[in-house]
């Protein structure tokens, strides 16, 4: 599904990712953990095609295609979804209008008929229940005035509606209380199947009790310094990151 090879990325002339390798197969969940500033968000952004993130070396292949040659919206239409660490508030843009436009952009891309208002309502109603999100949020401007928790839930709600093939969750757990965390994880797990892959970026092991990963990687200073299974996350929880940084 996703093959990252020797990826080097610079921002403002400063190298952030320094030769990262990662291979994600269909149906797998990979957790990426690491200290603040390691480059986790940079990796998330570079996979979604954000401007200002310059790939200086390496390659990223997604479903057999050169991902780096694709525009952000094309990547989205091809099934990539980033749940933002800091979801963006967009004043004056109605949430429902925006999400329907996103759904139909994908459908057009795939040559499918567009969804009408009735179908869309039915879909959103169903998905809102999954993340226990209040219906009224859909009537408001995108993320505007949402609480931190509501913003994160809205990301998962959008994910549930858009049904991506590759989801990148960038610290979706930060700022969530335990109940919200369980709900968000439930939304993510509901989407898991043999075709869909996920990259779960997190700072804390806690989330991985709910979203259980197939592989765990530690990202430090722009490269993956250690990979393992779930147990690695527990080990990190216990010992912190410093022992790894020294050995790297």
Ligand X SMILES: Nc1ncnc2c1ncn2[C@@H]1O[C@H](COP(=O)(O)OP(=O)(O)O)[C@@H](O)[C@H]1O
Site string for ligand X, 95-134 (x = CB under 6 A): ----------------------------------------
Distance (Å, whole) CA 182 – CA 153:
11
Applying CB under 5 A, the span of 66-74, 82-90, 126-134, 229-237 interacting with Mg ion comes to 82-90
Residues pairing with 61 in the sheet:
3, 66
Residue 93 CB-half CA count within 13 A: 11
Closest CA to 174 of 42, 84, 50: 84
**Rounded to the nearest whole angstrom, what is the least distance from the CB of residue 140 to another protein in the complex?**
6
As measured in angstroms, the least distance from the Cβ of 169 to another protein is 13
Alpha-carbon gap, residue 100 to 179, rounded angstroms: 28
Smallest gap from Cβ 230 to ligand X, in A, equals: 21
Using the structure block, give the residue that is written with the tokens 């005035």: 145
- Window 52-71: contact mask with another protein (x via CB under 8 A): -------------------x
User: For residue 235, how many other CB atoms are within 10 A of its CB?
Assistant: 17
- Residue 68 binding result from Mg ion, ligand X, another protein, none, given CB thresholds of 5 to 8 Å by partner type: none
- C-alpha span between 45 and 110 (Å, rounded): 24
The one of another protein, Mg ion, ligand X, none whose footprint includes residue 42, by CB under 5 to 8 A per kind, is ligand X
Q: What are the tokens at 50? A: 């954000």
Dihedral angle sign, alpha carbons of residues 213, 88, 43, 220: negative
Residues 12-41 that bind ligand X (CB under 6 A): 12, 14, 16, 34, 36-41
How many residues bind another protein, per CB under 8 A?
37
Burial class (CB in 10 A: 0-12, 13-18, 19+), 202: buried
Contact letters for another protein, residues 1-40 (x by CB under 8 A): ----------------------------------------
Interface with ligand X (CB under 6 A), residue from 28, 42, 154, 172: 42
Q: With contacts defined by CB under 5 A, how many residues of the chain interact with Mg ion?
A: 3
Q: Cβ contacts of residue 189 below 8 Å, gap of 6+? A: 210, 211
Lay out the site mask for Mg ion across 32-71 (x = CB under 5 A, - = otherwise).
Answer: --------xx------------------------------
Number of H helices, E strands in the chain: 8, 12
Q: Which chain residues interact with another protein by CB under 8 A?
A: 48-51, 71-73, 75-77, 81-82, 84, 87-88, 90-94, 96-102, 105-106, 109, 117, 139-142, 158, 162
């Amino acid at each position: 599904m996703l093959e990252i090879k020797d990826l080097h990325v610079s921002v403002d002339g400063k190298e952030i990712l320094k030769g990262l390798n990662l291979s994600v197969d269909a149906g797998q969940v990979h957790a990426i953990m690491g200290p603040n500033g390691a480059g986790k968000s940079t990796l998330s952004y570079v996979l979604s095609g954000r401007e200002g993130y310059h790939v200086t070396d390496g390659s990223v292949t997604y479903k057999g295609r050169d991902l780096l040659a694709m525009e952000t919206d094309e990547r989205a239409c091809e099934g990539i979804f980033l749940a933002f660490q800091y979801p963006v508030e967009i004043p004056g843009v109605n949430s429902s209008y925006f999400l329907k436009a996103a759904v139909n952009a994908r459908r057009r891309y795939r040559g499918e008929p567009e969804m009408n208002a009735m179908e869309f309502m039915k879909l959103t109603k169903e998905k809102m229940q999954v993340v226990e999100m209040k219906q009224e949020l859909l009537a408001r401007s995108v993320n505007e005035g949402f609480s931190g928790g509501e913003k994160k839930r809205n990301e998962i709600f959008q994910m549930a509606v858009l049904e991506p093939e590759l989801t990148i969750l960038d610290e979706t757990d930060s700022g969530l209380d335990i109940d919200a965390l369980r709900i968000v994880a439930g939304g993510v797990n509901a989407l898991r199947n043999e075709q869909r892959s996920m990259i779960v970026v997190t700072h804390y092991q806690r989330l991985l009790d709910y979203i259980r990963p197939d592989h765990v990687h530690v990202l430090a200073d722009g490269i993956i310094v250690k990979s393992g299974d779930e147990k690695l996350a527990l080990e990190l929880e216990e010992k912190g990151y410093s022992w790894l940084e020294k050995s790297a």
